[in-house]
Chains A and B, each alone.
Chain A
Amino acid sequence: MAETAVIMELNGAGGVKTSLASKVARFCTEDSVEPLLNHPCRIPASGFNYSFRKTWCLYITGDFNQVRDIYAYGDGEFADDWGLSPANGGGLFVGNRDTGDNGLPIDAVLHGSDEYAVATGIIGTTGHSIEDVVNGHPYYKDQSTPVKNFDECLADAPHLVDSGPYTDDFYSKALVASAKIPPQAAYGKKTAKSITWIYNIF
């Protein structure tokens, strides 16, 4: 049987994995796989607010010889479509490593280590940014470029999450994402956006 693929979100201290199929993921100010309209992102009076970090991975099962080169990309319009005022520093940012795969290792057996860290912040107000010197994501915050604007990750220049290879059912390394919200951001309901994941099968 060819592969089946699903995107999983990791939540809680232990990184419980939940399939996003038939769920609605929202950037918000709590660590929840399906927060509905609770704890929406808040626009700050000054400085920046952040959504709680989202941690997503790809789960692939089936009969395949090898799966490798897992990338993610968007349409380059997240900041504009969500009114995040990119001119003032807002946008959707993802964890970035100086070298190698940008994805977060979440499985000691598959990835060599488990670097998952629960999303933190002040519930209902702001999350901690990925690059925050104190409360940032431990796997990214000390990199020279700890985040990348996801609007730069396009179909012809996608974000390398996990180079693999995998020869059996696996969870990929994870994409860590957070919305950065400046005071100039627009209030209100946001349009739905999609992230595309691609992978090669040999």
Chain B
Amino acid sequence: MAQPLFRRYWIKVHPDGSAFSQFDPFSGKSHESGEDKDPVAQVLFYPMSPGLADKICKQGDKAEPSNLPPLVFDIPIGGGAKLYRVGKLRYDLRQICGICQMEFSPDLEECPRCLAKNQWYCGSCDALKDKPIIDHETNQVRCPDCEATLPRGLRHIECIGDFYQESHYTSYVLEISDRCREVEYMDIDEGDWKTCTQAQNTQRHFILDYKINRKAPT
């Protein structure tokens, strides 16, 4: 099961100065933005501190300290804010060497550390075969040296295994509208007029929670 790794978190500040944080500062318990329905005056994104990361991990979530810059978004008076988190899950195929346990890209045919690779063995020649005959029609792999006399299938010696590496990223979307207004509309299903709140002049901010590895200047 993949879990998001948090490196920054949000704090909603209400107009009366009270605040609601994604993670409880004392216990590290996580909250989602939808739990807080109060009006918002400001949304802050803070880097994860070592102490809070520790508390979050004790709750069963994953967090690590970061030095991502703090971000501050003011919500205009009379405006609105919609905040949610985006989860992204991907499985990437990786290879693992059965000899030295090194994990490496599936694009490589042999282990970059110990050079082990999957081999084909011919019992008749008692030798490994680098360039076997691969017959896609019959799904057979045969020995090129025995083919002219007595065709013989090869045994697969598997040194490299495949596995999926889970990648679970998280990011935040904050939509801020200048003002909201009540709009009347006809509900066709119920056949009467209703009102809804429509946000205007909405700005959409996408806040990453990724660690960016920058190469140090030389």
Determine if B89 and A7 form an interchain contact, defined as CB atoms under 8 angstroms apart. yes
Residues of chain A in range 1-53 having any CB-CB distance to chain B below 8 Å:
1-7, 19-24, 40, 43
Q: Does B69 contact A (CB under 8 A)?
A: no
Measured CA separation A36–B138 after assembly (Å): 17
In the complex, are the beta carbons of B164 and A43 less than 8 A apart? no
Q: Which residues of B contact A198 (CB under 8 A)?
A: 86-89
- B85 near A200 with CB under 8 A, answer yes
Contact A197 B93 (CB under 8 A): no
Stretch in A58-66, A135-143, A144-152, A176-184 touching the partner? A58-66
Chain B interfacial residues counted at CB < 8 A = 34
Q: Per-residue CB proximity of A164-202 to B under 8 Å, as 1/0?
A: 000000000000000000000001100111111111111
* B182 at the A interface (CB under 8 A): no
Contact between chains at B86 and A2 (CB < 8 Å):
no
Contact check, A199 vs B86: say whether CB atoms are below 8 A apart.
yes
Q: In the complex the two chains form, what is the Cα distance from A2 to B10 in whole Å?
A: 14
Query: Are A6 and B1 closer than 8 Å at their CB atoms?
Result: yes
> B90 near A197 (CB under 8 angstroms)?
yes
Interface size on A, residues (CB 8 A): 35
Q: Given known contacts A4-B1, A192-B106, is B32 in contact with A201 (CB within 8 Å)?
A: yes
Bound state CA distance, A23 and B92, in angstroms? 11
- Docked complex Cα distance between A1 and B86 (Å): 16
Interface of B is mostly: strand
Residues of A within 8 A of B1 (CB): 4-6, 19, 21, 61
CA distance A4 to B84 in the complex (A): 17
Residues of A within 8 A of B92 (CB): 192, 194
Inter-chain contacts of A5 with B (CB < 8 A): 1-3, 87, 89, 168
Q: How far is the CA of A191 from the CA of B162 in the complex (A)?
A: 12
A3 contacts which of B4, B33, B136 (Cβ < 8 Å)?
A: B4
- Beta-carbon nearest neighbor of B3 in chain A: A4
Assess whether B178 is interfacial by the CB under 8 Å rule: no
Contacts of B61 in A (CB 8 A): 1-2
How far apart are the CA atoms of A43 and B2 in the complex, in Å? 36
Cα–Cα distance between A171 and B166 once the two chains are bound (Å): 18
Q: Nearest chain-B residue to A70 (Cβ)?
A: B87
A-side contacts of B2, CB under 8 Å = 4-6, 21
Query: A196 to B89, Cβ gap below 8 A?
Result: yes
CB-defined contacts of A43 to chain B, threshold 8 Å: 136
Residue of B nearest to A59 (CB): B1
Query: Quick check: B87 and A194 within 8 Å, CB to CB?
Result: no
6 of the cross-chain contacts (CB-CB < 8 Å) are A2-B3, A6-B2, A21-B2, A22-B163, A188-B134, A192-B106
Apart from A24-B163, A201-B87, A202-B33, what are 4 other A-B pairs with CB-CB below 8 Å? A21-B91, A188-B134, A199-B87, A202-B32
